[in-house]
Amino acid sequence: MLRRCAYFLVALTVALYLTRAGATQSAEKTKKVLLIGIDGCRPDALQRAQAPQIGALAEQGAVSYTAQNLPLRLTDVETSSGPSWSTMLSGAFPDKHGWIDDVRRRRFNGQYPHFFARLKEANPKASTVSIITWPDITQMTKGADINETVKTDEQAEKRAIEVLEKQNPDAMFVHLDHVDATGHAKGFNPESPDYIAAIKETDARVGRIVDALKKRPKYAEEDWLIMLSTDHGGHGSGHNSHRHVVPAIRLVFYIASGEAASRGVIEGQVYTADVAATALTHLGVKLDPQWKLDGVPAGLKGHPTPAVSRPNEPAATEFIKRKN
């Protein structure tokens, strides 16, 4: 009788354990990424604008207002959109992905693809979406399930909301251009009312896109990492800084927000190359050392803070002087 009771207790314990394990497994949320790129947005101007929607995302995650778009050692690379966006989306610097500038030597070599491609290799069923206002980015996004170019930020917002409402993306990139266009027309300057107004307008768009994300029917079952960054800052009416001697152009912001994100200011040195590495890590894709990416996970719980001085790159406070 005692032996029978003991067997019963053991069986009951095992059953309870399996039930709890099954419940935990079934309750595991689906990991997803929304990356919003705000073209030409200086971090000091973003802070001056006191943008409430972006500010709320920063408060709910990890943030750096002293990230860099490109490494100082690459003195012959322009701080323009092509080299910077391809660095962010591939996780590699221009000496690897090949996009050096936007005029003379535009060449994305394909050896360091968009992080969408890495995700597809690991999970062919993953749904990827790219909605952009600068057509040149399509050099990288050809493999996305939805790969669309629109003419205005208003159209980009509308299409992003439509996709979030009606489809099931796993990784989504939305590119907004109004801030950059205003910087070229009115000056990349935190003292410029027009530039600040453009940031505020874009902030409202970000808020509406995120609101649509949070209203998804299965949002409670999803683990979204919302990332925001920019390709470059600006100085005067431009942003091409050969040899990277202008901090207002090179310095950018980086935000990773959501349940999986750590909280507060990221103490180490962040680069836009970290965006791809962070997105892939959150999506469950192991970073293969053979990829030789320059990016590392930044602002994710359970991952170390990026180093102040990264491999092959001096500390951010050091500047390469322009040679005559």
Confidence of residue 311 (pLDDT cuts 50, 70, 90): low
CATH 3.30.70.580 is the classification of domain 30-291:
no
pLDDT-derived band at 241 (thresholds 50, 70, 90) equals low
Q: In which band, very low, low, confident or very high, does the pLDDT at 11 lie, cut at 50, 70 and 90?
A: very low
Q: Per-residue pLDDT tens for 169-199?
A: 999 999 999 999 999 999 999 999 999 999 9
Residue type, 18: L
pLDDT at 78: 83
Kindly report, residue by residue over 254-273, the tens digit of the pLDDT: 999 999 999 999 999 999 99
d(CA 285, CA 122): 7
16-66, pLDDT tens digit by residue?
444 444 433 446 999 999 999 999 999 999 999 999 999 999 999 999 999
Q: What percent of the chain is modeled with pLDDT above 90?
A: 68
List pLDDT tens digits, range 270-296: 999 999 999 999 999 999 999 999 999
Q: What is the largest CA-CA distance in the chain?
A: 95
CA distance 64 to 285: 24
Q: Are the CB atoms for 225 and 32 separated by under 8 Å?
A: yes
| Spatial separation of the C-alpha atoms in residues 168 and 299, rounded to whole Å | 25
Alpha carbon distance 79, 249 (integer Å) = 7
Per-residue confidence at 70, pLDDT binned at 50, 70, 90?
confident
Mean pLDDT along residues 151-167: 98
Average pLDDT, integer, range 232-241: 84
Cβ neighbours of 310 (radius 10 Å): 21
Residue 143 has φ and ψ, to the nearest 5°, of -90, 0
Q: Is the pLDDT of residue 323 over 90?
A: no
199 closest CA partner among 217, 178, 214: 178
pLDDT single digits (tens) 83-95: 999 999 999 999 8
Sheet arrangement for strand 171-176: 146-149, 128-132, 171-176, 30-38, 222-229, 251-257, 61-68, 264-265
Mean pLDDT score, 207-225? 98
Residues with Cβ within 8 Å of 173's Cβ and at least 6 positions away in sequence, in order, are 35, 36, 37, 89, 116, 129, 130, 131, 132, 141
